[in-house]
Chains A and B, each alone.
Chain A
Amino acid sequence: MSLALEAVNVSKRFGRVLALNDCSFAVPAGRIVGLVGPNGAGKTTLLHIAVGLAEPTSGRVHVFGISAREDILGVLSRVGFVAQERPLYRGFTVADMLELGRRLNARWDFAYARQRVANAGVALDRKIGSLSGGERAQVALSLALGKRPELLLLDEPLGGLDPLARRSFLQELMSTAAESGVTVILTSHEIAAIERTCDYLVILGRGRAELAGDIDTVVGSHVAVTAPSRYEEFIRTHSAIVDTERTERQISALVRVSQAVDWPTGNGLQVRPVNLEELVLAYLRRARLERTTK
């Protein structure tokens, strides 16, 4: 299994703030990855380090085995990146933006980029400043895909898009990934969108990877347990608690199970599967709690 991206003990310090703290995880090639985490968890920083826009304080991010620090052009030729708010030159026309891609990239598929823009219904002679949010998103994506990347990094690609634009953007993205086999890593707060689009999940909290894995496997290895308080010891010994809610007599926990557990159901103890949203929220809540109590 080849790795599209691998973070190895990455730390990044901005002044007194530790944006990434010994963060390690891996993303296999060919997946569509949702990178989630609370604001300030280091998602953007991580993507920037991967593509060489920032330097890690320590550690490495490898893209197909090479790091931007060692071989920036090697990384840039394989990675398409669309930053948050999709910066484009306002005074340029759409054609100018594609020309920029052609001039600044050794490998550039002009016909493909132009076709994508045309499919999105954006005329080449239009000024970037006159485009709607959805059109901008399509142009930015086409620019990133024009270099035929093996890895596509999208930072908040759904931000600022209306529901219709979101839907068509995600559909376009999925069909592109399916036909070209490009690995996609996108950050988002939209768990529903991630559930529809992604097959791999990385949760970032406290500057660290809380969880990374295939979404079906990850969801399948977590359950929600509700039980009388006296079962807390049992839950703790048979699973790893991610998040709990206690009342005086009851405990509700979202737990991770590494192997099949023979739950003593029927004595007020109930076990049910979780969905992706519950799972993500539990991890994010834990990250926030640990951050505030640290």
Chain B
Amino acid sequence: MIWLTYRQHRWEALLTLAVIVILGLPNLIAGLQAPSVIAALGIPACVANPNFGTECSAAFNQFGRQFGWTSYFSILFVALPALVAPFLGAPLVSREHEFRTSLLVWAQGITRTRWLVTKIVLFAAVLAGGAWLLAAIAPIAAQAWSYRPARWQDAFEWSPAVIVGTALFALALGVFAGALTRRALAAMLIALVAIAVARGAVISQLRPTAFIPPIVATSHVGIPPDAWVISSDYVDANGNPVGIDRLIQLNNEFFRTGSRAVLVSSDDYYAQNGVFVRVKYQPREREGQLQGIEFTLYAGLAVALFAASVWLVRRRPA
């Protein structure tokens, strides 16, 4: 069965490897060069000084000319699952039905369960290895994506947990769509839409607020500088949002009355008038925990979808 899987899918494996090498290698090299270039251009001093001069602009431009192209590499980490689900996962079962080869291979001397489980395990292993490799390259390559060090909430997207987790989840989604529809094209479309929706939900909703409820602060003071600020708005004493008109009014008063001289910030002036800032954030200490939860979610869903695919293949006629 291992031989058959290799013989049937060696081009897919080679193509996956080629994508990783072709995209990964130049970015890895660029990432390795970037720190010395950044230092030579004197960029750290420019970043530290907000009122930088023309020589800093020239340095930024120079960096952009040299490494600007690498920033597209980061898109790969979002696009990768969108390729895996329709192109590696969806055809796995559906193409056998379409070409009727299910009637050939399931009438040999092995069970359908063994047939599918072997394929899934091999696909998942190769894919996880490739994803992990990309994740290992990413932090190095990221040094060329921007002259500022990446924030942890941005680097989250190319952490091993997320890359490997999404790759496995995408594979499972594709396999399941194929086992369900038995039509390669339909399965590819369903898998593509499903992975886009799932990723969107995780990135925009689950990761920032659902996995662990964010910390709510009533002042900007005391929020760690490396915190991931999710939202920041103004509320009254009862926690209801304050309208923009009231904020503008307060802001004008603040400047007109010269309160600036007395108070530390406009936030303090607002607070005196019953309007409080409300900041939701995730502190950096939660990085590992958030990644753990996200990986568990993806991996758990992947296992469930794989199991459902095996059940479908066993239950339904060839």
B-chain residues with CB within 8 Å of residue A72 when the two chains form the complex: 111
Q: What 0/1 readout, one digit per residue, does chain B (88-118) give for beta carbons within 8 Å of chain A?
A: 0000000000011111111111110000000
Choice from A54, A92, A143, A147 contacting B7 with Cβ under 8 Å: A92
Q: What is the CA–CA distance of A89 and B7 in the complex, to the nearest angstrom?
A: 10
Q: What is the CA–CA distance of A85 and B101 in the complex, to the nearest angstrom?
A: 10
Choice from A52, A83, A104, A143 contacting B100 with Cβ under 8 Å: A83
A:139-157 near B, CB below 8 Å = 140, 143, 147
Q: What is the CA–CA distance of A77 and B105 in the complex, to the nearest angstrom?
A: 13
A-chain residues with CB within 8 Å of residue B101 when the two chains form the complex: 87-89
B-chain residues with CB within 8 Å of residue A51 when the two chains form the complex: 107
A-chain residues with CB within 8 Å of residue B107 when the two chains form the complex: 51-53, 76, 79, 81, 83
User: Smallest distance from the beta carbon of A76 to chain B beta carbons, Å?
Assistant: 5
A:44-87 near B, CB below 8 Å = 48, 51-55, 72-73, 76-77, 79, 81, 83-85, 87
User: Smallest distance from the beta carbon of A187 to chain B beta carbons, Å?
Assistant: 14
Q: What 0/1 readout, one digit per residue, does chain A (107-147) give for beta carbons within 8 Å of chain B?
A: 10000000000000000000000000000000010010001
The answer to whether B8 has its CB under 8 Å from any CB of chain A is yes
The answer to whether B243 has its CB under 8 Å from any CB of chain A is no
Structural contact, B109 and A105, CB atoms closer than 8 A: yes
Structural contact, B4 and A87, CB atoms closer than 8 A: no
Structural contact, B318 and A103, CB atoms closer than 8 A: no
Structural contact, B104 and A87, CB atoms closer than 8 A: yes
The answer to whether A240 has its CB under 8 Å from any CB of chain B is no
B-chain residues with CB within 8 Å of residue A48 when the two chains form the complex: 103, 317-318
Structural contact, A99 and B3, CB atoms closer than 8 A: yes
How many chain A residues have a CB neighbour from B under 8 Å? 33
Q: What is the CA–CA distance of A88 and B100 in the complex, to the nearest angstrom?
A: 8
The answer to whether A106 has its CB under 8 Å from any CB of chain B is yes
Structural contact, B317 and A53, CB atoms closer than 8 A: yes
Structural contact, B317 and A104, CB atoms closer than 8 A: no
The answer to whether A22 has its CB under 8 Å from any CB of chain B is no
B-chain residues with CB within 8 Å of residue A92 when the two chains form the complex: 7
Q: What is the CA–CA distance of A202 and B317 in the complex, to the nearest angstrom?
A: 24
- B interface majority secondary structure: loop
Q: What 0/1 readout, one digit per residue, does chain A (162-192) give for beta carbons within 8 Å of chain B?
A: 0000000000000000000000000000000
Structural contact, B108 and A88, CB atoms closer than 8 A: no
Structural contact, A104 and B108, CB atoms closer than 8 A: yes
The answer to whether B1 has its CB under 8 Å from any CB of chain A is yes
The answer to whether A100 has its CB under 8 Å from any CB of chain B is yes
A-chain residues with CB within 8 Å of residue B7 when the two chains form the complex: 92, 96, 99-100
B108 to chain A: closest residue by CB: A104
User: Smallest distance from the beta carbon of A50 to chain B beta carbons, Å?
Assistant: 10
Q: What is the CA–CA distance of A52 and B108 in the complex, to the nearest angstrom?
A: 11
Structural contact, B8 and A89, CB atoms closer than 8 A: yes
A-chain residues with CB within 8 Å of residue B110 when the two chains form the complex: 73, 76, 104
Structural contact, B3 and A103, CB atoms closer than 8 A: yes
A83 to chain B: closest residue by CB: B103
The answer to whether A246 has its CB under 8 Å from any CB of chain B is no
Structural contact, B108 and A76, CB atoms closer than 8 A: yes
A-chain residues with CB within 8 Å of residue B1 when the two chains form the complex: 103-104
Which of A51, A55, A73, A89 has the most CB atoms of chain B within a 10 A radius of its CB?
Answer: A89
The answer to whether A38 has its CB under 8 Å from any CB of chain B is no
B-chain residues with CB within 8 Å of residue A91 when the two chains form the complex: 8
Structural contact, B99 and A90, CB atoms closer than 8 A: yes
The answer to whether A30 has its CB under 8 Å from any CB of chain B is no
User: Smallest distance from the beta carbon of A168 to chain B beta carbons, Å?
Assistant: 22
Choice from B8, B102, B111, B315 contacting A73 with Cβ under 8 Å: B111
The answer to whether A37 has its CB under 8 Å from any CB of chain B is no
Structural contact, B109 and A76, CB atoms closer than 8 A: yes
Structural contact, A83 and B104, CB atoms closer than 8 A: yes
Q: Contacts A100-B4, A103-B1 given: A73-B317 contact, CB under 8 Å? A: no
B:30-79 near A, CB below 8 Å = none
A93 to chain B: closest residue by CB: B7
The answer to whether A101 has its CB under 8 Å from any CB of chain B is yes
A-chain residues with CB within 8 Å of residue B8 when the two chains form the complex: 89, 91
Q: What 0/1 readout, one digit per residue, does chain B (5-29) give for beta carbons within 8 Å of chain A?
A: 0011000000000000000000000
Q: What is the CA–CA distance of A275 and B244 in the complex, to the nearest angstrom?
A: 96
Q: What 0/1 readout, one digit per residue, does chain B (123-144) give for beta carbons within 8 Å of chain A?
A: 0000000000000000000000
A108 to chain B: closest residue by CB: B109
Q: What is the CA–CA distance of A84 and B99 in the complex, to the nearest angstrom?
A: 12
B-chain residues with CB within 8 Å of residue A103 when the two chains form the complex: 1, 3-4
Q: What is the CA–CA distance of A140 and B101 in the complex, to the nearest angstrom?
A: 12
Structural contact, A55 and B317, CB atoms closer than 8 A: yes
User: Smallest distance from the beta carbon of B9 to chain A beta carbons, Å?
Assistant: 11
List residues of chain B with CB under 8 Å of any chain A CB.
1, 3-4, 7-8, 99-111, 315, 317-318
Given contacts A73-B110, A90-B99, list 7 more A-B pairs with CB under 8 A: A53-B317, A83-B107, A85-B100, A87-B99, A99-B7, A100-B7, A103-B3
Q: List 23 A-B contacts (CB under 8 A).
A: A51-B107, A52-B107, A53-B102, A53-B106, A53-B317, A53-B318, A55-B315, A55-B317, A72-B111, A73-B109, A73-B111, A76-B110, A81-B103, A84-B103, A87-B104, A88-B101, A90-B99, A100-B4, A100-B108, A104-B105, A105-B109, A140-B104, A143-B104
> Which 5 A-B pairs give the minimum distances between C-beta atoms?
A54-B317, A83-B103, A104-B108, A105-B109, A53-B318
